[in-house]
Amino acid sequence: MSFFGFGQSADIDIVLNDAETRKKAEHKSEDGRKDKYFLFYDGETVSGKVNVTLKYPGKRLEHNGIKIEFIGQIELYYDRGNHHEFVSLVKDLARPGELTQSQTFDFEFTHVEKPYESYTGQNVKLRYFLRATVGRRLNDISKELDIVVHTLSTYPELNSSIKMEVGIEDCLHIEFEYNKSKYHLKDVIVGKIYFLLVRIKIKHMEIDIIKRETTGTGPNVYHENDTIAKYEIMDGAPVRGESIPIRLFLAGYEMTPTMRDINKKFSVRYYLNLVLIDEEERRYFKQQEITLWRKGDIVRKSMSHQAAIASQRFEGSSNPERSQAQSNSEDDS
């Protein structure tokens, strides 16, 4: 037997059964790097093999048991010492004893509940991983394998349009309208802005998509705002009665689904922020929350075709006569 852990040791490797066929997804790490991880969904089985390879053949390795865990945890960066586990499953692979040669152990976690989406933010990280451990008296040998989880949603039944007004008495009156309030991550935001009264010299107008990450509870609540996208609506002065169309493709931006009160630890919300800047550099803005959701992979039509359909629907709902005429012409065809 070795003293102080010198002598026999081992390398651990975790291999998923469907590693060759399982899809991978890009995910950002804390340092901002993007890596690819195996992609899983809620309810899917996680199975594979744990390979324990002895470093010195012929020498035995005494251990206090071999196990594998499936863990889902939330880590708040301001509270690094505490990991909040919301999923914790354990499978014992071997009882305490000794290994005289390298060995492979099978494992399976069936229909694992994975309730939340993987997320790495400014102040919080939600991760899922497998951890295989060879227990030893002085120092355990362990290996982790991170996976990524995506949460899928179905198309929301209630998805009303957003209509709002921005006004300064006797100076400015603007109405803006978006075709819906809930968008999937590859969707197109279609809308219109109407200038009803313009007595201020506006020189610039844009729509921003803002991500707001909220962590903590009570007095220890932290808010981080991050501007994901800026979309210039116009550069120059509008006139009364003018309307400007909006068409903003979401697929080009890095966003997650909306996450509300995840395990009572954090939330991620998204807002459309309409910004107007006048010639004296004064800023006027109006903010509206939107809900983002992830839909399953299907055969997608081209994004331009998708935008055209959304635009037709939106303009048709604003113009009933045109919509009726369009439907009649479709029936005739």
> What average pLDDT score do residues 155-169 get?
77
209 compared with 77, residue with greater pLDDT = 209
Tell me how far CA of residue 193 lies from CA of 44, 134, 163, in angstroms: 45, 63, 10
The tokens describing 121, both together, are: 């933010």
CA dihedral 198, 200, 205, 210 (to 10 degrees): -100
Quote the pLDDT of residue 315.
53
> Do the beta carbons of residue 156 and residue 147 sit within 8 Å?
no
Mean pLDDT, all residues of the chain? 84
pLDDT of residue 308: 54
- Which pLDDT score is estimated for 218? 77
Q: Over 70: is that where the pLDDT of 301 sits? A: no
pLDDT of 194 higher than 90: no
Q: Which residues contact 138 (CB under 8 A, 6 or more apart)?
A: 4, 5
Mean pLDDT over residues 208-216, rounded? 94
Residue 177's closest CA among 156, 162, 196?
Answer: 162
Q: How confident is the model at residue 4 (pLDDT cuts 50, 70, 90)?
A: very low
| Residue predicted with more confidence, 203 or 101 | 101
Distances from the Cα of 36 to the Cα of 30, 172, 298, angstroms: 14, 49, 21
When pLDDT is averaged across residues 255-272 and rounded to a whole number, the result is: 95
Question: What DSSP line would sit under 294-315, residue for residue?
Answer: ------PPPHHHHHHHHHHHHH
pLDDT band at 312 (very low <50, low <70, confident <90, very high): low
Query: Looking at the DSSP assignment, which residues form a beta bridge with residue 109?
Result: 46
In the chain, the percentage of residues whose pLDDT exceeds 90 is 53
Digit-coded pLDDT (tens) for 66-109: 999 999 999 998 877 788 999 999 999 999 999 999 999 999 99
Per-residue pLDDT at 311: 53
Are residues 289 and 271 in contact, defined by beta-carbon separation less than 8 angstroms?
yes
pLDDT band for position 219 (cuts 50, 70, 90):
confident
Mean pLDDT of 127-149: 95
Asked whether the predicted pLDDT for residue 132 surpasses 80, the reply is: yes
What angle, 0 to 180 degrees and rounded to 10, lies between the N-to-C axes of helices 320-332 and 303-318?
120
Residue 331 has pLDDT above 50, yes or no: no
pTM here?
0.81
Q: So what's the pLDDT on residue 74?
A: 96
* Selection from 16-20, 26-30, 176-180 with the highest mean pLDDT: 16-20
Of the two residues 130 and 195, the one the predictor is more confident about is 130
Of the pLDDT bands very low, low, confident and very high (cuts 50, 70, 90), residue 297 is low
Please give the average per-residue pLDDT across 265-289, as a whole number: 88
| Lowest-pLDDT range of 130-134, 188-192, 242-246 | 242-246
pLDDT of residue 163: 83
Residue 298 has pLDDT above 50, yes or no: no
Does residue 189 come out as left (phi exceeding 0), alpha (psi in the -120 to 50 range) or beta?
A: beta
pLDDT greater than 50 at residue 1: no
Task: Assess whether pLDDT exceeds 90 at residue 144.
Answer: yes
